[in-house]
Structure 1
Amino acid sequence: MRMLGERVFHSHPEILGGTPVFCGTRVPVEILMEWLEGGYSLDEFLENFPTVTRDQAVAFLQQATQAALARIL
């Protein structure tokens, strides 16, 4: 599920010092990874960070998976 025509995350020096965040939020994408690594579900993450949409989170995870696979293949 790719969000057509929309960026999922971005980085700007004036937003959290350039930390990549989900577009339209101040939620760093790294937080999603930390929550999942900590054993929390995607639903739990979304409940705690309501400014991030399910589409954004899933699209980010897909992009991260593709990037990781590209590095090892």
Structure 2
Amino acid sequence: MSLDWSQCPAVERNPAKVSGAWLFKGTRVPVVALLENLRGGATIDDFLAWFPGVEHRQVIAVLQHIGDS
């Protein structure tokens, strides 16, 4: 399943940043990093500690977007 990330306000895409990957807005942290870390057993708090530029509300918005899709 392919998600339409353009509808999620917490992310952005810029071809000049991180090879055009979907990133948490205002960061260089790819959304896929969250998904891979959660899949690997990390908690949201772990992820936020490891990627301090990402805000809790952005993580929640991304997870909500996945749930709604």
TM-score category of the 2 structures, normalised to the smaller one: 0.7 to 0.9
Q: Does 1:33 align with 2:54?
A: no
Q: Residue 60 of structure 2 aligns to a residue in which SS?
A: helix
One-letter identity of the residue aligned with 1:43: D
Match of 2:44 among 42, 46, 49: 42
Larger radius of gyration between Structure 1 and Structure 2: 1
Aligned to 1:52: 54
1:64 deviates by 1.0
One-letter identity of the residue aligned with 1:12: N
* Alignment coverage as a number of residue pairs: 62
Unaligned runs of 5+ in 1: 1-5, 68-73
Q: Residue 51 of structure 1 aligns to a residue in which SS?
A: coil
Q: Could you list the structure 1 runs, at least 4 aligned residues long, displaced by more than 4 angstroms after superposition.
A: none
User: Which TM-score applies when normalising by structure 2?
Assistant: 0.85
RMSD: 1.2
1:56 deviates by 0.3
Unaligned runs of 5+ in 2: 1-7
Q: Does 1:11 align with 2:13?
A: yes
One-letter identity of the residue aligned with 1:47: A
